[in-house]
Amino acid sequence: MSQRKIIHIDCDCFYAAIEMRDDPRLAGKPLAVGGSADRRGVIATCNYEARAFGVRSAMSSHHALKLCPDLTIVKPRMDAYKEASREIHNIFREYTELIEPLSLDEAYLDVSDSPKFSGSATRIADDIRRRVSQRLHITVSAGVAPNKFLAKIASDWRKPNGLFVITPAQVQDFVACLPVTKLHGVGKVTADKLGRLGIVDCKDLREWDRLALVREFGSFGERLYGLARGIDERVVHNDSRRQSVSVENTYDSDLPDLASCLEKLPELLESLGGRMARIDDSYRPGKPFVKVKFHDFTQTTLEQAGAGRDLESYRQLLSQAFARGAKPVRLLGIGVRLHDLRGAHVQLELFTPE
């Protein structure tokens, strides 16, 4: 099998970049795109000046203003962002048809068979960055690597407005020094467990054989074994469609009762709102659902057609799901099923009008 050439393109603070481009008065000031603080709004994205104060996407607008009192929050203009995304994808298609969008501002490209620049993925990525800058007056960062896992890490390596390349010959040395927190699928709980086992980077992880990792982490241990060696066989799907959007959290200490579970809902709902804001208009949100995993690893999922996606609706769903086990909880998740509207003429409103 020939070596794959994967590019991961990630726009730099995309929504905020479009706002600064269209209104130069906003440039150089802390800026966020999101909902109003007095209406329990959520930050969709922010520029780097705001990030310096600790402002992040999926954070409540109220909390963001506490961190940065001079923060300007503007309402999202989804039509402008979608139009910019379409222009960027038109540029992509001049190099390859193997494009896997992850959101409006992020995508994988497989340029393994592209004839452009004599097949040089590095030169293709650099040219894409140049053309996006010239045509749209915003910047994108790019990562080039032999697989999706490494390409995504590479695109973040020199943000903003950066290009980072990991050649096949560099993979093993690069991955050996990589903190396990950078591995796809390793969240806080898994990272903490790895740390307790003395595993800080991939060099440490390579000292564990496949069977030992499976014993400790179940089926994810198999994935860890491969990632520690820079292995990722996932292909770039140019027809990948979402079934749902969700967030979940595994807690260090079990949540003892329903009341303690309900306390965690607002934070989960904020995170879900941030993820929903990045879904394009070829989807319509459908049934809300909750997932509960109890301390004994039994779990249940409950969804309800026609229910709202507000805090009270999720409270009711969670209460019903908890009643199925009525025992301490180690993981909570909430989400929304999605209807695929590709080809249909339906407009998806991602933000509630204010």
- Catalytic (active-site) positions: 106
Q: Which alpha helices (H) appear in 78-199, and where do they start and end?
A: 78-92, 121-136, 148-155, 171-176, 188-196
Q: What angle do CA 39, 40, 41 make, to 5 degrees?
A: 90
CA distance 166 to 168: 7
CA distance 63 to 237: 37
CA distance 197 to 72: 44
CA distance 110 to 132: 18
The DSSP result for 4-36, as a single string, is P-EEEEEETTHHHHHHHHH-GGGTTS-EEEE--
Preceding omega of 266 cis (within 30 degrees of 0):
no
CA distance 206 to 199: 9
Nearest CA-CA partner of 334 in 290, 269, 301, 276 = 290
Residue 22 marked ligand-binding: no
6 within 8 A of 110, measured Cβ to Cβ: yes
The partner residues of 334 in beta bridges, in order of sequence, read 247, 290
DSSP state of 118: G
Buried residues in 287-298 as b, exposed as e (16+ CB within 10 A): bbbbbbbbeeee
Binding-site sequence positions: 10, 105
Binding-site sequence positions for Mg(2+): 10, 105
